[in-house]
Structure 1
C-alpha cells in the first residue's frame, strides 16, 4: 500500500468551497466558493489563484468546448469569459421557484451538462426540503428535467461504459445509481448502491476513478470514502484535517492526485481554531489510483 499524504494547497478559507475541476491544458484547478460568490482558478505551476466575482451564489464551473467556461449562478447557467471577467446568461431553470439555486453539476462524455438545484439555505445548515430538481442541458441549450422533489442535488458521475449514472441527493444519505442512455441522456431504474454509515456525515460531491470506483466527499464527516459501486463496499477512507468536505476530483500529473474542497460555513470560533484550514483545497497523493479527464460542455 502506498503512503497517502494530505496537504493543503490553497488556503482559500472558502465559505463553501465546491466543484473542483482539473484543466489539463493549463494545469489549473477550477473551483467555486458558493456563498463567497466567486469562481477561482488555482495554477498548480505558479501556486497563484485568480478569481472572478459573481453577483449571486455560484455553484459550479466547467470548461466549455467553444472556449471559456460555463457556471451555475443562482438559477442561471452563464458563460464565463475569464479574460474580461464577463458573465453572460445562457438559460434559466426553476422559473417557478425563485428561491432555488443551482448546486453541483458535471458534464457527461457526450458533452451534456447535468446540473441540479436546491432550495436556498434558510440558515447555514437548514434548507427547505424537496424544492430541488435535476436538469440536463444540451449544446443547443435545451433543458430537460429528470427529477424533482430533490432535497440537495449533489454529486454525480457516469460509469466507464456510460451505462450507469451515479447521483447523490445529500439528505437521503445514500449514493444512488440509474440506468443511463447516453444517446438520449435519459435516466431510469433508480436504486441505492451505498448507504452512509454513522460518522460518515452526508454524501456531497463525488468523482469516479479509472477503475470505475467512486470517491465520495463526506460533509460533516471529515473524509473522502472510496466505494465499489458494483458491490456497495467501502474500500478506503481518506481522513482530512477539516470536517466539512464538499467535493473532489482527480488531477495533476497522470490524474494521480485527488483534489478535495471544503467549507467553513457554520463553524463556531472554537471549531475554526481546531480547523484553521477549513475552506481550503487539499491535495491527496499516494492513493495508487488515477482519475479521468473532465468533459467539456458542448454548448
Structure 2
C-alpha cells in the first residue's frame, strides 16, 4: 500500500467551501464558497487562485459544453463567463419558496444537470427541515422536479454503467441509491446503500472512483470515507485536520489526487484555534485509485 498523504493546498479560508470540480482543459480545480458567495478557480501548477463574487449564496459550479460554467446562485441556474466575470440567469427553481437556496449540483453522463435546494440556515447548525427539492435541468432548460420534502440535498454521482444514481439527503444520515434512466432522467426504487456510524458525522459531498466505489465527505466527521455501494461496506477512512469536511472530487493530470473542501462557518473561537486550516482545501495522494472526468452541462 502506498502511504496516504494529506496536504493543505488552498489556504483560502472559505466559510463553506463546497463542490470541487476538476477542469480537465485548464488543469484547474473549481470550487465554491457558499456563504462567502464566491466561485474559486485554483491552478496547482501556478498555485494561483482566481475568484468571482456571485452576489448571492452559490451552491455549485460545473463546466458548460458551450463554454464557461453554470452555477447555482440563490434559486437560479446562471451561466458564468469567466473571461468577462459576467453572470446571466438561465432558469429559476423553487420560485414559491423564497427562503430556499440551491445547494449541491452535478451533471449526469449525458449532460443533464441535477441540483437540489434546501431551506436557508437561520444559524449554521439550524436548517429548516423538509423544505428542499431535487430538480433536473435539461439542455433545453426545462426543469423537472424529482423529489420534495428534502432536508439538505447533497452528494450526487452515478454508477459506472450509469444505471444507478447515488444521492445524499444529509440529515437522513444515509447514502441512498436510485435506479436511473439516463435517457429520460427519471429516478426510482430508492434504497439505502450506507448508514453513517457514530462519529462519522453527516454525509455531505460525494464522488465515484473508476472502480465504482463512493467517496463521501463527512461533515462534522473530519474524514472522507470510501464505500463499496454493492456491499454497503466502508473500505477506507481518510482523516483530515478539520472537522467540517464538505465535499470531494478526483483531479490532477491522471485523476489520482483526491481534493477535499472544508468549512469554518459555525466554529467558535476555540474551534478556530484548534483547527487553523478550517475552510481550506486539501489534496489527498497515495490512495492507489483514480477518479473520472467531470461531465459538462449541455444547456
Provide the TM-score with structure 2 as the length reference: 1.00
**Which residue in 2 is equivalent to 1:280?**
280
**Which residue in 2 is equivalent to 1:33?**
33
**Using the alignment, how far apart are the partners of 1:260 and 1:115 within structure 2?**
20
**Using the alignment, how far apart are the partners of 1:22 and 1:83 within structure 2?**
18
Q: Give the count of matched residue pairs.
A: 299
Q: Which runs of 4+ in 1 moved over 3 A?
A: none
**Which residue in 1 is equivalent to 2:3?**
3
Deviations 1:67-105 (CA, angstroms, capped at 9, x unpaired): 000000000000000011100000000011000000001
**Which residue in 2 is equivalent to 1:212?**
212
**Which residue in 1 is equivalent to 2:151?**
151
- 1:44 to partner: Cα distance: 1.1
Deviations 1:146-201 (CA, angstroms, capped at 9, x unpaired): 00000000000000000000000000000000000011010000000100000000
**Which residue in 2 is equivalent to 1:67?**
67
- 1:124 to partner: Cα distance: 1.1
Taking the TM superposition and a 5 Å limit, the aligned residue runs for 1:133-282 are 133-282=133-282
Q: What is the DSSP-based 3-state SS (H/G/I as helix, E as strand, rest coil) of the residue aligned with 2:254?
A: helix
- 1:13 to partner: Cα distance: 0.7
Q: What is the DSSP-based 3-state SS (H/G/I as helix, E as strand, rest coil) of the residue aligned with 2:40?
A: strand
Provide the TM-score with structure 1 as the length reference: 1.00
- 1:24 to partner: Cα distance: 1.0
Verify: 1:104 aligned to 2:104, yes or no: yes
Q: What is the DSSP-based 3-state SS (H/G/I as helix, E as strand, rest coil) of the residue aligned with 1:273?
A: helix
**Which residue in 2 is equivalent to 1:290?**
290
**Using the alignment, how far apart are the partners of 1:54 and 1:236 within structure 2?**
36
**Using the alignment, how far apart are the partners of 2:3 and 2:171 within structure 1?**
33
Aligned-residue RMSD, C-alpha: 0.4
Verify: 1:81 aligned to 2:94, yes or no: no
Q: What is the DSSP-based 3-state SS (H/G/I as helix, E as strand, rest coil) of the residue aligned with 2:250?
A: strand
Structure 2 segments unaligned to the other structure (5+ residues): none
